[in-house]
Structure formats: C-alpha cells, structure tokens
Structure 1
Amino acid sequence: MAKHHFDRVTLLITHYNRSRSLEHLLKRCIEEELSFEEVVISDDGSKPEHLEYVKGLKETYSFRLVTTPQNKGLGNNINKGQDAVTTPYTLYVQEDFEPTADFAPNFVNAVKLMDTESWDLIRFYTFPWAPFPYLRNYKYGYAEMLYKPDLWHLNHLKFRLYSDHPHLRRTNFFDKFGRYLEGQRGDPTEYNMCMQFILKGGKALMFQGPDLFLHEAGGIEPNTMVRSKWKLSNSALIRLMRFMYLKGKVINSTIKLNKLK
C-alpha cells in the first residue's frame, strides 16, 4: 500500500483526448505515493487512438474506466463519472493537473474537515491570475470562501465558490446542488454550477498556501478547451469591452441570485 492511502475517497479524473497528460497525472500520483480506495476515469468520447492508449494504461495503473460512444461535453462527462463513484468522498481532478509534494499532508486535513464539519467543497487550486477575492482565514492553512451578495462587491470572481479545479467534495453532491448542465460548452456549464452552489447555500474552503496541484506543468498536450477569440485578445478596446461586460454580468447575476435566495 502507498505511503499516503485514502480510503473512503475516490479519485475521479475526467479525460478527453489527452491520454499522455492522463498518464502523467497517474504517474505523479504513484511518485508521490498516493493511493485511493478507487480511481475512476470518465472519458468523453475521445478519439480511438487516445481511448486505446487509456485502456493500455490499465496494465500499469489500477482504475475503472467509464466511457461514452460520442463526445457529450463537460457536464455529461462529470455526471457519468460522479455516478460511478461509490465512496463517501470524491477528489475531482481534470487530466491536465498533477499533485505537488505538499498535497498529501494537507489532504489529510481536508478529509478531517469533511469528517467533522459540514463543508461541501474544499479546493486545492486557483489560477494565479484569477484569485478568489473574498477569503476568511480558517484553520490548517485553509480559508473560508465568502460570497458577497451586495451590488458594490463587483469582482466578477465572487461567484466562483465552486470551480472545476481540483477539489474534494461529498459524493452525494448532486443531492444538494443538482447535476451538471449538459449540452453546453465548458464555461457555461461551470458557471451554472457556481450559481447553483451559491443558491443552495454551499460552503467551501480553499487552501491558502502554494497550490497543491500544478496545471499543465508538463506541457504535454494542447488544451482541448476552445474559448472565443474576444476573451483572449489584448486589444485595449476589447479589454474595455470585456471589463464592461463582466461588470454588467456581475450586477445581473447578483440581482438574480438575491431574488432567488
């Protein structure tokens, strides 16, 4: 058994056309001597060459693979993967992340917090250029994520209590927050779950130290998420339009949530 074994926890990995990145993640788990009660890989209709490569990885790594005959999007991929989990807790990780050497001891504390308190989600990563704006120090190096419902709190990241970044959650997550939106692109799917998480009173923690996962550290394969060009442009006009759009979205979403709560 690995040095850091976590029973009652399933590592759920979503995968799409990035089989070498997936292999890198599994390898890094072994290198960090991490093991879980089960590993579930949910594939979103990858190309045959990637799917066959994933199946070949079962000769080296122990996991259960759930598939679909065609690509159905992020929402369906997470839904069917979560449906396959049978343990009380789920560690959700996308295939292009990898754990750091600091993950294991801090994950012990995350499980302890889930066991003894009523947290719904504990996060281990956030993009460095998009930090969550409202945190309150808690314990074990974690901070409580606070949703600020007032309109003068205009940081558009305030809705991101939930994130598809690596996190620990209770496997009955769907019972409280509903299933992921299907048939939409990745960003709207994630944003919809952010809204549901706030609306249903979700409680989340985030690790405050250095991120416990690295994102695309190996640079092995290109990202499969395609975003609109206007979101990536550095044009001064586009940046201004994006700024105004985001502030308008914050106001609209805040009003909508305040009416529904």
Structure 2
Amino acid sequence: MTPSTYFFKDVSLLITHYNRSHSLQNLLESLIGLSCSFEQIVVSDDGSQPQHLQKLEELSHQYGFLLVKAPVNKGLGHNINKGQNAIKTELTLYVQEDFVPTPLFPSKFQVALQLLHARPDIDMVRFYAYFEYPYLTPIRDGYYEMKFNIWKPGFRKFYVYSDHPHLRRSNFLKKFGSYREGIKGDNTEYGMMMSFLKNQGKALYYKGYTQLFEQRNSMHEPSTMHRNILRESNNYFIRNCRYLYRHIKFNYDYYFKPNPVRSPSREGSKDDSLGSGV
C-alpha cells in the first residue's frame, strides 16, 4: 500500500442501485481512481431489469462487492434496509449509484472519520445537499454541526437528515428505526427525517456541500426518482404555496404525529406529502 492509498478501516461502502449499472461502474471506478478502498462494499439492488442484473453480476466479480438482490422492485426503503442489514463494520458510507466523489473527498473523508470517532454523540456526517443548512456551528476543516431548534424560523431547519451521500454509524436502523417500505422514495426519506429529529439525532455537515460529490445523470441512465411537478415548479405562486405548505406540515408532523418510522401502525401507509426535497 502506497502512502497515497486510502484504506478506510471499519468502514463499509453501501451503494443502492436500480437500473443504472453503468453509473454504478462509474462510481466504483472513480473511487479506485482516488485510491479509496473499504473493508466491505455492498451493492443493494432493487429488482433491476435483466440486462442490468447481468451487468451487476459481472461487476461484482470485477470489483469484489457483495450483491444483495430483490426479486421485484420494492422501493427505496426496502433497498436501503436490506443493504444496511448486510453491513458488518462499525461505520457505513452510504452513496446512491448516480454520485461520484471529487478529488477532495478522500482527505475530507478522513477528517469526517476522525470527528465521528471523537464525538460518540454524532450519528452521521453529510457530504452533499441541494442547499446550505441554515443553522450551523463550525467544528473544523469545513465541517459544521447542524443545530436543529424548533423555535428557529423557516422550514429548512428540519432538513438535518438526508439520504444523499453520508457517513453514519452502522447501528443507525436500531436507533432510528428501519426505513418505511412500500411508499414513494420522497416519503421514505421524509419519514426518516422526522424519526431522526424525534430521536434527537445529531449530524455534521460539510459546508461546501457540492465540493465532495457530484450527482451525474445521463440521457442513457436518467434519474429513477420521479417527483410531482408541484415540487419542481419555480412559479412564484406555486413556490410560495409550497413553502407555506411545508412550514405548516413539518411543524404539525413534528409536534402532533407519531413517529412515522418507529410506529408499526404507520408502516406502509400512503402519504401524499410533497416530500422532503433535502
């Protein structure tokens, strides 16, 4: 092992995959190009089409990862749950297959590991987001602690959890519950976001939130997440109605609704919310 090689001891790489085997290969090649290696790599597939499954089998032999299959598509929640349950190490780096790390990632990931070992109270470290979290306290080397306070203004304060690339403790499901299954991916993420907050989860956040990972979707392998047009529109009226809706819903759910992940009675229920959009 050369000095430039990054071997991350006690860390497993968990990749969720669905019908984007070339994107998966691109992610794995990017990590090799950055001399990153892990104790374990798990690829959790969500019932991909036969051509992608064949490619996954080939890639599993080429890259030496554990492939966890599903007979049919069961959604994001089931895919993360079965993948996480296959992890054997203390820590998990979770990445969806359409992301690739930047050259800055390995050194900053080392810092994240140091911070997580030094702070047993921290549950996860986030490496990517669509916007800057509004309430941050500086730690070091570009990392900040996310400070959730229900009394602070705005609805973006709720976005402490995200299923974008992050490092977490592998007992995550024991502390915060399994991801909700049988519902849309946005609602799965929203449920975990609320469970994370209600169970006093703590997270660190890299303030340069697009500097460590890039999200890449091609014409041949576009995003498999299909969102309601109301979530994407920049129309002034729709955007402000959406903000008002989220502000009311998030506060109501946090105060009055039972934990959407921990409560068995809510498992598999349908929720037509606009999702979290973290």
Q: How far 1:239 sits from its partner (Å)? A: 2.3
The superposition leaves residues 158-215 of structure 1 with CA deviations (integer Å, 9 ceiling, x where unpaired) of 1111110111111111121111111111111101111111111111000123531111
Alpha-carbon deviation of 1:135? 0.8
CA RMSD in angstroms comes to 1.9
Per-residue CA deviations over 1:209-254 (Å, capped at 9, x if unaligned) read: 3531111176762000011122222333322322321222233234
- Kindly tell me: are residues 11 and 220 of structure 1, through their superposed partners in 2, closer, same or farther at Cα, counting changes over 3 Å? farther
Q: Are 1:132 and 1:158, in contact at CA under 8 Å, matched by a contact in 2?
A: yes
**Contact 1:154–1:247, Cα closer than 8 Å, also in 2:** no
- Native 8 Å contact 2:80 2:179 kept in 1: yes
- Report matched runs for 1:88-103 at 5 Å: 88-103=90-105
The correspondence for 1:9, drawn from 8, 11, 19, is 11
Tell me: CA distance 1:160–1:178, structure 2 relative to 1, closer, same or farther (3 Å).
same
Mapped to 1, the partners of 2:124 and 2:156 lie a distance apart of 17
Alignment of 1:27 with 2:29, yes or no, is yes
Distance in 1 between the 2:15 and 2:98 partners? 10
State the TM-score, normalizing by the size of structure 2.
0.86
* 8 Å CA contact retained: 2:27, 2:99: yes
After TM superposition, the structure 1 stretch with the greater mean CA deviation from structure 2, 32-41 or 52-61, is 52-61
Alpha carbons of structure 1 residues 191 and 10: separation in structure 2 relative to 1, 3 Å: same
| Cα deviation 1:35-65 (Å, max 9, x = unaligned) | 0001100000011111111111124212110
Q: How many residue pairs align between the two structures?
A: 255
Question: For residues 227 and 217 of structure 1, do their structure 2 counterparts lie closer, same or farther at Cα, with a shift above 3 Å needed?
Answer: closer
Q: Is the 1:20–1:220 Cα contact (8 Å) retained in structure 2?
A: no
The 3 A distance-change label for structure 1 pair 115 and 243 is: closer
Q: 1:131, CA displacement in angstroms? A: 2.1
Alignment check: 8 A CA contact 1:149 1:258 kept: no
> Are the aligned partners of 1:122 and 1:206 in contact in 2 as well (CA < 8 Å)?
yes
Q: Which amino acid in the other structure matches residue 214 of structure 1?
A: E
**Cα distance between partner residues in 1 of 2:219 and 2:27:** 12
Cα distance in 2 for partners of 1:114, 1:218 equals 34
Unpaired stretches in structure 2, ≥5 consecutive residues: 260-278
> With structure 1 as the length reference, what TM-score do the two structures score?
0.92
Distance in 1 separating the partners of 2:258 and 2:78: 29
* Identical-pair percentage: 47
1:36-185 matches, within 5 Å, as 36-118=38-120, 119-127=122-130, 130-150=131-151, 153-185=152-184
Q: Give the direction of change, closer, same or farther, for the CA distance of 1:255–1:21 in structure 2 (3 Å limit).
A: same
